[in-house]
Amino acid sequence: MSEVREKVENVLSSARSVIFGQDNMLESIIAALVCEGHLLIEGMPGLGKTLSVSTMSKLCELEFNRVQFTPDLLPSDLIGTMIYNQKKEEFTTKFGPIFTQLVLADEINRSPAKVQAALLEAMAEKQVTIGEKSYPLKSPFVVMATQNPIEQEGTYNLPEAQLDRFMMKVLVDYPDFESEKSILDLKISSLGALNPIMNSTDFATLKSDVEKVFVDEKLKDIIIKIVHATRPGNEHFIKKYDGAIMAGASPRAAIWLYRMAKFKAYMAGKDYASPEDVLANVKGVLGHRVLLSYEAVIDKINVRNVVYDIASECL
């Protein structure tokens, strides 16, 4: 095992000592940091979403800011604003909490459209416009957004354009019996005892190593075929889902399936990606990008199962 991959395993091991039963979420956070993709984490309150992100930022020695999204939040509260200095008779720029490496947008679906639009520019362009000037954001820059299930009162659906900016959507479930029992013995001092294991140099090395993972042309064809198979009207579209899918996945889905397959292969100690590495990421990468028809939603068809079935048929 390479030294940097061993550090990743140590980070995950340390995180698991304070966050129980959420291994998939912790691995997804690491993947987002390495691939520099944004992550959407959905689950009921109290499942450790916020704690997971803040813990990983500490273990990876990244600058971290948390923003609690509320209905009265303004774009300037997130990105910053221009302030007039009477003494100097000029405007100065006050930078907002988005100027960091890891932003936790807590309960993102509680904020109105204007705030979500401000966040969209930062996610898409890795820059922020304040007044008439644009400012580049730090690298790596990753948004980790948490949301409670949409059915809850006082929430705003995220627009499709913003959902597509997220590399993956992770669904967080309740921990199992033993994991939840372990939470009872967790001491507050355990959280403060965590020390950084990785740094920005390690991430640069890790990113370079992941990029070297080989992907065969046939596997690239499979990735594109999977994405095409979600689009109604496309020659690869799976006919049994006619009428169930309203809109398919965008080209971004293919990019993230490709990058995540390489990451998955690297973490497994392989120097090449396989169809299984692609399939392992299908639900997270495609699940929030494929829109089901109204009839399919009424029939309670699970979109994550649909995309997994489509991908399985394309292999």
**Residues 230, 123: one domain?**
no
Average of per-residue pLDDT across 166-194: 84
**Residues 306, 198: one domain?**
no
In our burial notation (b when 16+ CB lie closer than 10 A, e otherwise), range 176-200 reads eeeeeebeeeeeeeeeeebeebbee
Number of domains in the chain: 2
Q: Which of 143, 169, 204 is the last residue of a domain?
A: 204
- By the 10 Å C-beta count (0-12 exposed, 13-18 middle, 19+ buried), 280 is classed as middle
| Structure confidence by residue, pLDDT tens digits, 75-126 | 899 999 888 888 877 888 889 999 999 999 988 888 888 888 888 888 888 8
Of 32, 30, 26, the C-alpha closest to 5 is 30
**Residues 26, 91: one domain?**
yes
Strand 166-171 relative to strand 142-147, pairing: unpaired
**Residues 191, 222: one domain?**
no
Of 118-122, 210-214, 220-224, 230-234, which range is least confident? 118-122
The torsion angles phi and psi of 299, rounded to 5 degrees, stand at -80, 5
Looking up residue 114, the CATH number of its domain turns out to be 3.40.50.300
Whether 56 shows a pLDDT value over 70: the answer reads yes
Rounded Cα distance between 7 and 206, Å, is: 10
Q: Which of 150, 170, 204 is the last residue of a domain?
A: 204
Instruction: Give residue 218's domain range.
Output: 212-314
Question: What confidence category does residue 152 fall into, taking pLDDT thresholds of 50, 70 and 90?
Answer: low
Tokens at 147, concatenated? 């949301």
**Residues 198, 68: one domain?**
yes
**Residues 64, 174: one domain?**
yes
**Residues 219, 176: one domain?**
no
**Residues 146, 168: one domain?**
yes
Rg, the chain, Cα only: 20
Q: What is the pLDDT of residue 191?
A: 67
Separation of CA 293 from chain center: 25
Comparison of pLDDT for 160 and 25, the residue scoring more: 25
Q: What is the pLDDT of residue 310?
A: 95
**Residues 16, 86: one domain?**
yes
**Residues 164, 230: one domain?**
no
**Residues 148, 11: one domain?**
yes
Average of per-residue pLDDT across 139-163: 79
Is the bond leading into 112 cis (omega within 30 degrees of zero)?
A: no
Question: What confidence category does residue 150 fall into, taking pLDDT thresholds of 50, 70 and 90?
Answer: low
**Residues 165, 310: one domain?**
no
Q: What is the pLDDT of residue 37?
A: 92
Q: Which of 204, 228, 253 is the last residue of a domain?
A: 204
Whether 151 shows a pLDDT value over 70: the answer reads no
